[in-house]
Amino acid sequence: MKFLKSGLRFAACERGTSAIEFAIGAPVLLVGLVIVTDVGLAVGGRMKLDQAVRSGAEFAMNSVTDEVTLEDMVKSAATGAYGNDLNDVNQSDIPTVDVTKTCE
């Protein structure tokens, strides 16, 4: 009977319940945060690429006929820097640009 009373006393104790809830909920929230951050970075990169391509198209529509100049303009729109060495831009951030002229 003494064992039963101590078991009921243990079951009625609420100390530590918030720590257990945190241990269960925190990993779920952290995984969600990582997923949202990853998706946000991907969407931001896609928007930056779209903006660079649109800039190149605008330059092409404004009678810029030199393909090298168009490539440089798209690279500068994508990286925010312009020139032969593109200043201190990381080489992996510079997109590969191939200009193809078509008329639709």
List the domain boundaries for the chain: 40-82
Q: How many CB atoms lie within 10 A of CB 28?
A: 9
Smallest CA-to-CA distance from 77 within 89, 63, 65, 62 is with: 89
Residue 87 in contact with residue 81, Cβ under 8 Å? yes
- pLDDT exceeds 90 at position 42: yes
- pLDDT exceeds 70 at position 89: no
Phi-psi region for residue 83, left (φ > 0), alpha (ψ -120 to 50) or beta?
left
Q: How far apart (Å, rounded) are the C-alpha atoms in residues 23 and 89?
A: 42
Q: What is the pLDDT of residue 26?
A: 96
Q: Which one has a higher pLDDT value, 1 or 102?
A: 102
Q: pTM of the prediction?
A: 0.59
Cα 43 versus chain centre, distance: 6
Q: What is the pLDDT of residue 82?
A: 60
